[in-house]
Structure 1
Amino acid sequence: MNHDTPVSPRPLRHLADAQRRVLTAHQLREHGVAAATVAERCRPGGLWQQVLPGVYLLHAGPPTDEERLHAALLYAGRPVAVRGARPTAVPEQACPLRAGANGWPQGARATVPAPGDPYGEAMITGLAALALHRFSSAPPLHALDRIDVLVPRTRRLRSTALVRLVRAPALPLPATIDEVPVAPAPRALADALAQLADASVVRRLLTEAVRGGHCEPAAVVRALSQARLLSRPHVIDAVDSLLAEGLAIAEGRLYELVREHGLPEPVWNVDLRLPGGPYLGGLDAYWPDQAVAVEIDARTPRQDEDVLWSEYARKREHLERLGVTVVHVTPKKLREAAEQQATVIRTALIASAEREPAAYLVVLPR
């Protein structure tokens, strides 16, 4: 028996009812279809067609969007062996979405390739993945001439006219959306932007990533940095807008937190100085009567985080020596744990009555 011999010859009509009529040559052999039969059916005008090397569409018409995605994954994927070690997936940095607690859209789930999975570790990335993540500014799947597929760096395979392979030394943990393994939004965004030169398109995608709640700015910037895209002027300009957008959203959440949880109204976006003395730093919210301040952590991977954190710590220590209580919050905490942050701020405000009066400070609008 050679590799072209079907395992157990069966009538071909059983394939017509397959949920997805996209199969590899190996899968067809497992279904009892000989190579000669495949070649016969894929002749010009035949009932089947070869859409990618070793991947066949079991009808003559154009493939659907779903069939294109699965064909790309079947071509790029290396089936996980039933025996032996399971592959491991390296989680991306947290990128919570508006609808899911694990960083993926409602209904999606994190997946690790299981033994026998025909796609192996391959996952959809780039613009196709953004379309699956429901980015309104990404082209629809049917408008894409090429589908990007993320694969291990060691995968020996070539890109084709229909599939572009994106290689990585460590793969993120994918989501399953509509039965398709999909790269997390930050990784998919970085892979998409690597192929785009239109500054307006780049800006729209990055803006939607944050404004649409797909992920935090820091996660996006981290992915762009890892992809070495922050040296491109049009990407840098868009990232600056992205960070401003992310900070504005975080500030908006802080406003909502104060009002929805019944906290006293602070003075917003102020600078502090000692009378006739040096500048002490800017704050996002300040309660002068209680000497309680809130500062949003605006660090990003573009900056030296250790150096910037040292600056935060020095400012906080200086203010606390002057009797000011500083509450440090992150955009993620404001989004995911607003009630907890409100409790922290309320506790600091109440505790101010038991502290020594703070030094007199000059409060100026920023």
Structure 2
Amino acid sequence: MNHNTPVSPRPLRHLSDAQRRVLTAAQLRSHGISAAETTAQCRPGGPWQQILPGVFLLHPGPPTSEERLHAVLLYANRPPGAAPGGVPQQSEASAAAASLPPARRSAESQLPGGDAMITGLAALALHRFSSAPPLLSLDRIDVLVPRTRRLKSTGCARVLRSPSLPQSQQVTGVPVAPVPRALADAVAQLADAGAVRRLLTEAVRGGHCEPAAIVKELNAARLLNRPHVVDAVDSLLAEGRAIAEDRLYEMVREHGLPDPLWNIDLRLPGGPHLGGVDAYWPDQAVAVELDTRAPRQDEDALWSEYARKREHLERLGITVVHITPKKLRESVEQQAAVVRTALMASSDRDPAAYVVVLPR
């Protein structure tokens, strides 16, 4: 008998290579492998090994990174009634699975198939972050599950529970947390300020997500009280704003908009300061303001300040166009059209109040 693959009346060709090598107790049973044979194959020196409770590696050597990912997901997605140990136990769920037609049964034995998703540094490695460690170098793989799941961290699986799960993304066939959530889960485990800064910076420079989305997740995870995280976030926001400004310059240039005055402050003659804007067309009284607010504890106060400034400028006849970094990245042509429309509509409006323009 070839001990490296299960003896089964049902061929395993429908499974991927990793799925042929990593199976749960219930999957082995559905392929005709008895509990006694599984136990025998996993004895010391045997051809198989138990990699996680109820999850088996069907070869004797160390697991590959792909095998570890699949093992962690199989462990996290196992039915609540599944056996915690190495020996398969019959349950109502497995009995129901065995009664399914073969095509459906084989489809349900594959990944994904549950709520669990890879997060943390492993997810960032799958998202191709160069600043994340290689998968094989990680002692543990973080897996995100609903808060109601009664799973323990064990072996290479570190279980993170959450009351609300984000929508997972498929990366190389593996369900993975989106970058902002994966970053927050990774940062929660990191005390190295340099590592945190590198990860956050790459997320923005690499175009994975906007700073506001990252800060929102860090805030939700209550990580903004850690000094090294706050320092990294301050650098991140400055980096994100610089990138957004570059995209705004590029939008004006590439979409043929007239050149504005850049980064200026507005003031009433002999009166109060009205606030700064990122671009201003004085002849048309149109201003563009980049909305780079980050959701922190003081977001309400900051938004009130933004709203007051906008209302004041618009009472003076100045049209204010708010643009977010995300919109500049994902729909720049539409944003250019919004600005162009505002410029063209200026001739239909009453003249704006005279304001003093100062460099910011």
* Structure 1 stretch displaced more, 119-128 or 259-268: 119-128
Deviation (angstroms), 1:358: 2.3
1:59 maps onto 2:59 in alignment: yes
CA RMSD in angstroms, aligned pairs only? 2.4
Deviation (angstroms), 1:10: 5.4
Equivalences for residues 104-143 of structure 1 within 5 A: 119-143=113-137
Match of 2:219 in 1: 225
Query: Whole-Å Cα distance in 1 between the matches of residues 14 and 211 of structure 2?
Result: 45
TM-score by length of 2: 0.85
Structure with greater proportional helix content: 2
Equivalences for residues 105-254 of structure 1 within 5 A: 119-254=113-248
Distance 1:213 1:278, change over 3 A: same
Which of 329, 337, 344 is residue 343 of structure 1 equivalent to? 337
3-state SS of the aligned residue for 1:45? coil
* Structure 1 stretch displaced more, 119-128 or 355-364: 355-364
3-state SS of the aligned residue for 2:329? helix
Give per-residue Cα distances to partners, 1:316-342, cap 9 Å, x unaligned.
221122221211111122122211221
Match of 2:47 in 1: 47
Deviation (angstroms), 1:120: 1.8
3-state SS of the aligned residue for 1:43? coil
* Structure 1 stretch displaced more, 303-312 or 191-200: 303-312
Match of 1:90 in 2: none
Give per-residue Cα distances to partners, 1:167-195, cap 9 Å, x unaligned.
11121111111111111111111111110
Query: Whole-Å Cα distance in 1 between the matches of residues 173 and 141 of structure 2?
Result: 16
Distance 1:171 1:222, change over 3 A: same
TM-score by length of 1: 0.84
Equivalences for residues 217-366 of structure 1 within 5 A: 217-366=211-360
* Identical residues among aligned pairs (%): 74
* Alpha carbons 1:79, 1:117 under 8 Å: kept: no
Give per-residue Cα distances to partners, 1:240-268, cap 9 Å, x unaligned.
11111111111111101100011111111
Query: Whole-Å Cα distance in 2 between the matches of residues 123 and 253 of structure 1?
Result: 33
Query: Whole-Å Cα distance in 1 between the matches of residues 7 and 58 of structure 2?
Result: 16
Q: How many residues align?
A: 329
3-state SS of the aligned residue for 1:350? helix
User: Please, which runs of 5 or more residues in structure 1 have no aligned partner?
Assistant: 1-8, 85-113
The residue type paired with residue 27 of structure 1 is: Q
Give per-residue Cα distances to partners, 1:261-315, cap 9 Å, x unaligned.
1111111111011122110100000112221111111222114433333322221
Distance 1:32 1:267, change over 3 A: same
Give per-residue Cα distances to partners, 1:62-112, cap 9 Å, x unaligned.
111110100111112134979x9xxxxxxxxxxxxxxxxxxxxxxxxxxxx
Deviation (angstroms), 1:11: 4.5
Distance 1:249 1:283, change over 3 A: same
Match of 1:6 in 2: none
* Alpha carbons 2:52, 2:155 under 8 Å: kept: no
Match of 1:88 in 2: none
The residue type paired with residue 52 of structure 1 is: L
* Alpha carbons 1:79, 1:120 under 8 Å: kept: no
User: Please, which runs of 5 or more residues in structure 2 have no aligned partner?
Assistant: 1-5, 81-92, 97-106
3-state SS of the aligned residue for 1:63? coil
Query: Whole-Å Cα distance in 1 between the matches of residues 293 and 24 of structure 2?
Result: 47
3-state SS of the aligned residue for 1:164? strand
